Structure 1
Amino acid sequence: MNEGHPAENQRAFAVELVISKMLRIGVLVAAAVIITGLVLFLVTGDSGYPGDTFPTNFGDIVTGLLAMKSVAIIQTGLLLLILTPVFRVFVSLFVFWAEKDYRFVLITAVVFVILIASFLLGKAG
């Protein structure tokens, strides 16, 4: 750590605190959405889709969410849960940029691009 720069240590601690709160909020929101969908499914006994079908792309999930279909609500919560740490990487990119730590900007940008590419390529698989 930089013992000679207490102001920088305070700023780094404040940034980490904000990011940790953001992660907690993301997980709690995702859990609330998933629980809402689960309760709706248990109360109605209906997934909102015929047979064993379910939405398989983002557009269908959004359409199902707007129609309050329980499975689409659960899938939305799962997407939020997945996107929470991705959002953390995205925010870290700007934090490192503001701190002028360009080496970590580059590393974080590469990680972010890999994450986005994995989502896009995962659809093809």
Structure 2
Amino acid sequence: MIVIVGGILYLFHNGNDIPEDHIFRGEPADLRQVPGILNDTLALRGRGIIQLGILLLILTPVARVAFSVFAFWQQRDQFYIIVTLIVLLILVHGLLTTG
């Protein structure tokens, strides 16, 4: 839903622009980091809102694994705590490294 709202807002402001498909432009620097995404979202810029929606979609499974660690900790299941922590470390490492 967040991505749809961002897309509508983006099209409202940039819908009449002619795309330049022959020139590749990556994402602006402010949309490659969380603080920039949050700043663009608070400024109600469509691209920032779209990026926030995608970031939330990426963070959803990470949060689920983190909550699983807590659930296994409550059950005192050490094997699954270790396995889930390894999975969480792999997910976080994948998100934080660039390459």
Corresponding residue number in structure 2 for 1:93: 69
Alignment of 1:102-113 (within 5 A): 102-113=78-89
Cα distance in 2 for partners of 1:70, 1:117 equals: 29
37-46 vs 86-95, greater mean Cα deviation: 37-46
Cα distance in 1 for partners of 2:78, 2:10 equals: 48
Specify which structure has the higher proportion of helix. 1
| TM-score scaled by length of structure 2 | 0.81
Cα distance in 1 for partners of 2:88, 2:32 equals: 24
| TM-score scaled by length of structure 1 | 0.65
Corresponding residue number in structure 2 for 1:36: 5
Aligned residue pairs: how many? 88
74-83 vs 52-61, greater mean Cα deviation: 52-61
Cα distance, 1:64 vs structure 2: 0.6
Which stretches in structure 2 are left out of the alignment for 5+ residues? none
Corresponding residue number in structure 2 for 1:7: none
Corresponding residue number in structure 1 for 2:43: 67
Root-mean-square deviation (CA), in Å?
1.6
Runs of 4+ in 1 over 3 A off after TM superposition: none
Identity %: 36
Corresponding residue number in structure 1 for 2:91: 115
Larger Rg: 1
